[in-house]
Amino acid sequence: MRKILVTGGTGLVGSYLKKILPDATYVSSKNYNLLEKDDIKHMFINIQPDTVIHLAARVGGVHHNILEPVKYFEENILMNTFMIRESYKNNVNSFIGILSSCIYPDKINEYPITEKNLFEGAPHRDLFSYSYAKRCMAIQIEAYNSKYNTNFNYLVPCNLYGEYDKFGEIEGHFVGALVQKIYNAKKNNKKSITLFGDGSPFRQFMHAKDLAEIIKLTITEKIKKSFNVATEENYTVKKIAEIALEACDANDLQINFDSSKPNGQYRKDIDIKIMKSLFPDFKPINLYEGIRQVYKKIMDAQ
């Protein structure tokens, strides 16, 4: 029987994965400090996994990435480097690293972006530190596979959201922060909400529950290929906000945009042909239904 270690076990994706892979060992920063190599060494000695799902990361919204570029680069570089190295040293059979679609080039000639496009240019400047740290994990994984014949791989998901997300305006992801903003506006009888940028950039959003399911399938079906993970829904920020208003029963709210704030990358939708070929029966949660679930969670928590 496999012994599976999951880092970031209390985070957005880990919280869903625990429901469908209950026998794995889930660790968080309360158990081990993944920025300290000695802590990671002790973790591997104590748990002795043969499979590692590396979810842990320093993550946050565009604004916080701009404020804290050193933190987003150094913390992700350190934990990723230590985790992969110790996985190899401890004879881990299967390592899955979770990256992000923001690692892809900002300027590209053709969309959607395929896995082969990864090194064809620099990522967007607003997430530059985080993006390069995550891109480095792909390089490290491929280097270990080439040098040591390991079977490590990585998944590149689009933007995520879910009931276990961060909902603050600074560190929160877009959908979670958006739904919280709608809830607050309704609660305080406001007539509008204000979003960063001008609403024109396109984004793919996938429920974190779906990524957890893909991770489980990747393990159970012993997939060693690295590939993109996303939904085919690709909407402008303005359209996503309109879907969210409808899903939150808030169609009377007006959407305002603050164009003095950054838009972020204009477009970064990723190709999912490989994912669909591997898992042709997989059906993701659509954005409207997913946002309704998040909104219900926020209401229930109040």
Question: Of 201, 205, 174, 196, which Cα lies nearest the Cα of 255?
Answer: 196
Report, as ranges of residue numbers, the positions in the chain whose pLDDT lies below 70.
1, 168-172
69 close to 128: Cβ distance less than 8 angstroms: yes
At 169 the pLDDT is 59
- Distance, CA of 82 to CA of 79 (rounded, Å): 5
Residue whose pair of structure tokens reads 């012994």 in the numeric block: 3
Domain 4-161+204-232+272-277, CATH among 3.40.50.720, 3.40.50.2300, 2.40.128.30, 3.20.20.70: 3.40.50.720
Residue 23 has a pLDDT of 96
Return the pLDDT at 171: 56
Q: Which pair of tokens denotes residue 65?
A: 């990435």
Q: Which residues lie closer than 8 Å to 117 by C-beta, 6 or more apart? A: 104, 105, 108
Q: What are phi and psi of 51, to 5 degrees?
A: -135, 135
Nearest to 56 by CA among 120, 137, 144, 112: 137
Can you give the pLDDT at residue 168? Answer: 66
Give the per-residue pLDDT at 174. 87
Residue 179, token pair as written in the block: 């739904």
Q: What is the structure's pLDDT at 63? A: 74
**The one-letter amino acid at 190:** K
Q: Which of 228, 104, 101, 200 is nearest to 159 (CA)?
A: 101
Please tell me the predicted confidence (pLDDT) of residue 170.
Answer: 55
For the chain, residues classed under CATH 3.90.25.10 are 174-201+234-267+286-301
What does the alpha-carbon distance between residue 243 and residue 251 come to, in Å, rounded to a whole number?
9
Residues of the chain with CATH 3.40.50.720: 4-161+204-232+272-277
**Length of the chain measured in residues:** 302
Res 165: pLDDT: 86
What is the topology classification, in CATH, of domain 174-201+234-267+286-301? UDP-galactose 4-epimerase; domain 1 (3.90.25)
In this prediction, residue 172 carries a pLDDT of 61
